[in-house]
Amino acid sequence: MPVARINGISLGYDDYGSGEPVVMVTGTGAPGRMWRTHQVPALKAAGYRAITLDNRGIPPSDLCPEGFTLDDMAADVAGLIEYLGVGPCRVVGFSLGSVIVQELLVARPELVREAVLMATCGRADGLITAMSAAEIELCDSGAKVPPRYAAYIQALQNLSPETLNDETKLQDWLDIFEMSAVDLSSIRGQLGLQVFGNRLAAYRGISCPCLVIGFGDDLIVRPHLAREVAESVQDGTYTEISGCGHYGYLEKPESVNAAITYFFGMRRT
């Protein structure tokens, strides 16, 4: 994996394919390779160059134990775009990654041509705030959650009833979650960053065309929060994909990929 020196830190990234570039920003605690199974192949097949990054706090990028902000993370994406010389380009975000992209669109709009924002929000409501506070308290307590229990909780939080009620699919997901269980202490710097004030007024200044994708059964960022973002930006389009939870881009990748490539293709030159 290449590592770039950006904003005084080391930032890991991967670069796939050729063609018009698409930079992909993932969510809390997730490495850039999360895009590799489904979205990277779909983008390459559609003729795009997919660029993924590991946000600060996720190795091999610097952990930055002194702490960091959403503005820092947005500046990292801006720095990577400039480092690679690919701006203005298309950008895709998921969850916290979408919020990072939104802040990038406010701070450095000249770097982004179009954006896709999945499972996003423009304000932290009561449930998001409570979830973040609980995760931080658990992390700081030093308690270790058994991987099997963590997998069960992750499945309930992030998957749709459609998947939970399919015995074979559910077991596959539980196995994946158990094998990839994340120690919250390792992502302490990112915890809580999705708790922020109401930014919808600031997003009204965003003129970049944005596709906002909500997931019908998302319990982490409920679809109405994503719809608010689409309604706030000047050129926003909202679409909702049913039958999937917060991990919709992994649960229903064909539908998500089709929405992304269709949106980009509408304005492709």
Nearest to 64 by CA among 106, 7, 20: 7
Catalytic residue among 14, 54, 72, 218: 218
Amino acid at 180: S
38 given a catalytic annotation: no
* The 3-state secondary structure of 41-77, one letter per residue: HHHHHCCEEEEEECCCCCCCCCCCCCCCCHHHHHHHH
What is the residue whose two structure tokens read 């269980």? 181
246 given a catalytic annotation: yes
Catalytic residue among 14, 61, 72, 95: 95
224 given a catalytic annotation: no
Catalytic residue among 62, 72, 246, 255: 246
CA 248 to chain centre: 11
CB 7 within 8 A of CB 72: yes
What DSSP letter does each residue of 231-256 carry, written as one string? HHSTTEEEEEE-S--TTHHHHSHHHH
Catalytic residue positions, numbered: 95, 218, 246
